Amino acid sequence: MKVACIDFAETGLFAPIFNDFIQQKEELRKFYHRYPSLEAFQEQIQEKSQHKINRSGLVQVLEAQYAEVSMVEEAVKRNMESLGADKTFTLTTGHQLNIFTGPLYFHFKIITVINAAKQLKTKYPDYNFVPVYWMASEDHDLEEIKSVQLEGKKFKWNTEQTGAVGRMKTEGLDELAKEITGESSIFYKAYSQADNLADAVREYVNAIYGKYGLIVLDADNTNLKAEFKNVIHKDVVHNTANELVENCSKSLDGIGYKTQSFPREINFFYLKDNLRERIVKENGQYAVLNTEIQFTEAEIKSEIDNHPERFSPNVVLRPLYQEAILPNLAYTGGPAEVAYWMQLKSVFEDFQIPFPILLPRNFGMIIPNRIRHKVKKLKLNELDFFTERELLKKQVTKRITAQKLNLNEERQELNVILEKIKHFAGEVDGSLSQMTEAETEKVSNALDKIEKKMMAAEKRKHSDKMRQIDEIKDFLFPGNGLQERKENFLSFYKADDKFIKKLTKAFDPFNLQFHIMRWDG
């Protein structure tokens, strides 16, 4: 793929907090630890080396989780084994368990950490770097993950299960896989054979990315949660994180940035069977919302000690859980994730866990040959893609027409005449000045209408080009959203089985710009 890159700010699509982070604005500096450059990892490695984690326990959990995977690549086995050594570190991204991988940017996240691990190994050959996909298996928002868009068509998983999505049975997904990808696909195999959604996702993500050494981790695990018990106690009983995050959020709000996440007094859900509900404290008792489950303080302390797996962190403490159990150097996410991580730095400091480098995921737009031909005919550049549709049509029409489509000179001449009339009328009667101003505004509005009709008439003469603009915008911005956030990778992979390989070559994880990729498909 040939790649062109443009600055995020030039697209007009990203929030100020993200653009300012990319541009290293000084006012944001205190909210993150180190800027994501290759050179910054030297100090991050040294700092994380001092934070001891249970490496042998982590390896044992991973080996158990991979025991049911049909074929574990040698690269994955090597990376799992290397995690037991002090000189191995992880680069992590996380994502929901969307069916059939969900939107394109799921892959962009994973490719970012894979490529970053490669570049870091070249830069720091004495260390090993392992890319990790952290499955958001404890999330319970089924509605967000149960549909997928493929070539403009929406497919939906019809299930009414409740609780953590990773624990849900895959019933019905095998039939959907037959329809979408056929019985010989990795998706049909995963959905028809796995006991739950987490196992199915691990199976097909491993099939796609195992050769790159990607480790898939499901943190919904008793042994891993046991490593996090001290944080669970402090948050549930002493509400440690709430005030820290609120203060940080107020600081961000105070300098004009909109915050992404909102802490609670207790930042854990109670997770059991088909249940994931918030824990609250009412009248000295701990209760699980929408249930009859209650605990005294002594009872909930005992529950944490004996069943840490039943305590599921929310968006505020999930990042802390990740960094507590992994030898992690960097977290890769999108704009909203980068923003809410910046609300959490003081929480990491309070628990004495190193804050990771925030490495934004790669962002991209894929332009196949048929769209590229239209772009070339219209003589559009990369920035034109991000211009509002009707404005782009006007710009193209003005460029290709031989007709005059504005009345700027005539408007100026009329304004001079009308100003003279206003002066003469005012001398006759002062009240006539106001009437003249009103009539002048009517004339201006009439000229606007004439210009619009001239433009509309000229657009009709070039209806084929206007249709091409619609086709380009509909492909790159389906449903008026970015392609990467709407379309599934199968739209490209089914036509080109080397699509993932081409993406890994096209993206540069440390080029913090928007990638526009020409795909020969």
What tens digit of pLDDT does each residue of 436-453 get? Answer: 777 777 877 877 787 777
Number of H helices, E strands in the chain: 24, 15
Contacts of 422 (CB under 8 A, 6+ apart): 433, 436, 437, 440
Burial 20-40 (b: 16+ CB within 10 A, else e): bbbeeeeebeebbbbebeeeb
- Residue (of 157, 287, 317, 143) closest to 225 by Cα position: 317
pLDDT at 402: 53
Categorize the per-residue pLDDT at 413 as very low, low, confident or very high, splitting at 50, 70 and 90: confident
Residue 421 Cα to chain centre, angstroms: 59
pTM: 0.89
Categorize the per-residue pLDDT at 455 as very low, low, confident or very high, splitting at 50, 70 and 90: low
State the DSSP code for 488: B
pLDDT at 142: 94
pLDDT at 431: 74
H helix or E strand, kind and range, residue 403 = none
pLDDT at 490 over 70: yes
Give me the chain's average pLDDT, please.
92
Residue % of the chain over a pLDDT of 70: 96
Residue whose entry in the numeric block shows the structure tokens 């290293």: 24
pLDDT at 403: 61
C-alpha to C-alpha distances, 296 to 237, 281, 285, nearest whole angstrom = 11, 10, 5
95 bridge partner residues = 135
- Outline where DSSP puts E strands in 213-362: 215-218, 268-272, 275-282, 285-288, 294-295, 311-313, 328-333, 357-360
pLDDT at 465 over 90: no
Answer for the pair 135, 168: CB distance below 8 angstroms, yes or no.
Answer: no
Categorize the per-residue pLDDT at 458 as very low, low, confident or very high, splitting at 50, 70 and 90: low
Give the integer Cα–Cα distance in Å for 304 and 296: 12
Categorize the per-residue pLDDT at 491 as very low, low, confident or very high, splitting at 50, 70 and 90: very high
pLDDT at 198 over 70: yes
Give the integer Cα–Cα distance in Å for 79 and 447: 69
pLDDT at 114 over 70: yes
- Residue (of 51, 80, 320) closest to 213 by Cα position: 80
